[in-house]
C-alpha cells in the first residue's frame, strides 16, 4: 500500500469515527438522542403539589413483546382524570453489537379514577430507561423516570 492510500484510509476511518460519534448521520439533534430517563422532571407549577405517578406492568417484570402498562396519576391526594399519559422506553445504542438506539412509546387511555392503561411493545430483553409523562393542555404536570429490565 502506498503512503497516499494509507493516508486516505486513515482519513476515511477518522471521518467514519466522527460520523459514528455524532449519531451516524442521525437527523435528530444531540439533545434528542440522550436517554429519556436522564431528562430532569419539570417543577410543579407554583401553588400546586407535585403529581405522584406510579407504574404497574403486566406481565411483571416486563417481557420482550407486548406488555400492558398501568399508570396511576394523583395530585394533592386526588386522582387526575384529565391528563394525557405516555410511557417511553429507551435503550442506548450498542455499537459493539452493531445495534442502534431503540425507542418505543405508548399512549395510555384513562380508565377511571386516575388510572391510565395501554399496551406497548418492548423490542428486546435487557435494561430500558423508562419515562412516564403526564400532561394537561400541552404542559407537563408530572413525570417519573426509572430503569426496568425486560426478560
pLDDT the model gives residue 49: 66
Q: How far apart are CA 74 and CA 35, in angstroms?
A: 25
pLDDT the model gives residue 84: 97
In a domain, 16, yes or no: no
Q: How many domains does the chain have?
A: 1
In a domain, 124, yes or no: yes
Q: How far apart are CA 138 and CA 83, in angstroms?
A: 9
In a domain, 11, yes or no: no
In a domain, 26, yes or no: no
> What is the residue range of 131's domain?
36-150
Residue whose C-alpha cell is 398501568: 70
pLDDT the model gives residue 23: 40
Are the CB atoms for 30 and 48 separated by under 8 Å? Answer: no
In a domain, 18, yes or no: no
**What are the residues whose beta carbons fall under 8 Å from the beta carbon of 64, sequence distance 6 or more?**
122, 123, 124, 125, 150, 151
pLDDT the model gives residue 35: 36
Are the CB atoms for 132 and 86 separated by under 8 Å? Answer: yes
| CATH code assigned at 145 | 2.60.40.10
- What averages of pLDDT result for each successive group of 10 residues across the chain (151 residues)? 38 36 38 36 52 96 96 96 97 93 96 97 94 95 96 93
Helices vs. strands in the chain: H and E counts, helices first: 1, 8
Q: How far apart are CA 143 and CA 33, in angstroms?
A: 19
Q: How far apart are CA 134 and CA 9, in angstroms?
A: 50
pLDDT the model gives residue 26: 38
Q: Where are the beta strands (DSSP E) in 3-138?
A: 51-58, 65-75, 78-79, 84-91, 102-112, 115-122, 126-136
pLDDT the model gives residue 50: 84
Amino acid at each position: 500500500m502506498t503512503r497516499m492510500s494509507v493516508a486516505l484510509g486513515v482519513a476515511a476511518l477518522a471521518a467514519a469515527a466522527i460520523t459514528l460519534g455524532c449519531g451516524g448521520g442521525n437527523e435528530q439533534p444531540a439533545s434528542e438522542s440522550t436517554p429519556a430517563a436522564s431528562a430532569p422532571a419539570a417543577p410543579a407549577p407554583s401553588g400546586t403539589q407535585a403529581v405522584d405517578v406510579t407504574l404497574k406492568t403486566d406481565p411483571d417484570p416486563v417481557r420482550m413483546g407486548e406488555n400492558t402498562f398501568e399508570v396511576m396519576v394523583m395530585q394533592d391526594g386526588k386522582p387526575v382524570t384529565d391528563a394525557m399519559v405516555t410511557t417511553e422506553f429507551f435503550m442506548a445504542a450498542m455499537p459493539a453489537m452493531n445495534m442502534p438506539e431503540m425507542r418505543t412509546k405508548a399512549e395510555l387511555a384513562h380508565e377511571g379514577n386516575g388510572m391510565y392503561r395501554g399496551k406497548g411493545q418492548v423490542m428486546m430483553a435487557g435494561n430500558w430507561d423508562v419515562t412516564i409523562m403526564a400532561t394537561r393542555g400541552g404542559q407537563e404536570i408530572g413525570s417519573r423516570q426509572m430503569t426496568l429490565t425486560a426478560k
